[in-house]
Amino acid sequence: MKENDYDKLLARKLSPLRYRHSRGVASYAAQLALKYNIEVNKARLAGLLHDYARDLPEGELLTLAEEAGLISCEVERKLPLLLHGPVGAYLVQKDLNVNDGEILQAISRHTVGAPDMTLLDKIIYLADALEPGRVYPGVDVLRRLAEEDLDKALLKALESSISYVLARGQLLHPATVEARNCLLMKRDNS
Ligand SMILES: [Fe+2]
Ligand SMILES: [Fe+2]
């Protein structure tokens, strides 16, 4: 399938807002890929497809995740929306025949992060938070940081996600903590 076909398919499948967001993530991911010397087309496609499962009802996300053996911790049963990354990767492979493991992993990891994220994982996670449609305090500082130092930007993005969850008294997914710890340990060892 060509990128144009994926685009048309998403325009039908996603809500108009989510479709616009997905296009924004695709173009922002392409921009970062160019900057950090990874395959631009790969980053654009991962960005375009990252929220493929985001508009599915929570019950369906949970059922699909259970069927495919994608549940990694109990927090996900309480907050099935967190599963739209792994379920998205699963469906993109099953329905759209996307078999590139790097793209599938970046889609899977974009919601809560993971330890040892690849460059593509990091770019999709950040593009999701920084695409032009995102408006929140500090987004411009983060965008500048992403141009200068991807790891520093990712650390800040993970920390603001953790602060957001804590401020609301919600369950925190352990992968987000692991992603942050992993970045800190790598930074301190280099
Ligand atoms: Fe998402
Ligand atoms: Fe997203």
* 102 CA to centre of ligand 1 in angstroms: 17
Question: How many helical (H) and strand (E) elements, i.e. helices and strands, does the chain have?
Answer: 11, 0
Q: Is the pTM of this model over 0.85?
A: yes
Cβ-in-10-Å burial (0-12, 13-18, 19+) of 165 comes to middle
Q: What is the pLDDT of residues 150-189, one digit of tens each?
A: 999 999 999 999 999 999 999 999 999 999 999 999 988 8
Asked if 162 contacts 177 with a C-beta cutoff of 8 angstroms, the reply is: yes
- State pLDDT tens for residues 52-94: 999 999 999 999 999 999 999 999 999 999 999 999 999 999 9
Rounded distance from Cα 190 to ligand 1 centre (Å): 31
Does position 37 have pLDDT exceeding 90, yes or no? yes
* Residues 145 and 152: beta-carbon distance below 8 Å: yes
Domains located in the chain, CATH noted: 3-189 (1.10.3210.10)
- Number of residues in the chain: 190
Distance 56 CA to ligand 1 centre (A): 12
Work out the percent of the chain whose per-residue pLDDT is above 90. 95
Residue 36 neighbours by CB distance under 10 Å: 15
**Ligand 1 center to 188 CA (angstroms):** 30
Decide if 67 contacts 61 (C-beta within 8 A): no
Contact status, residue 101 vs residue 42, Cβ threshold 8 Å: no
The pLDDT tens digits for 91-122 are 999 999 999 999 999 999 999 999 999 999 99
Residues whose beta carbons lie less than 5 angstroms from ion ligand 2: 51, 128
**Cα→Cα distances 130→79, 107, 156, 190, Å:** 23, 16, 12, 27
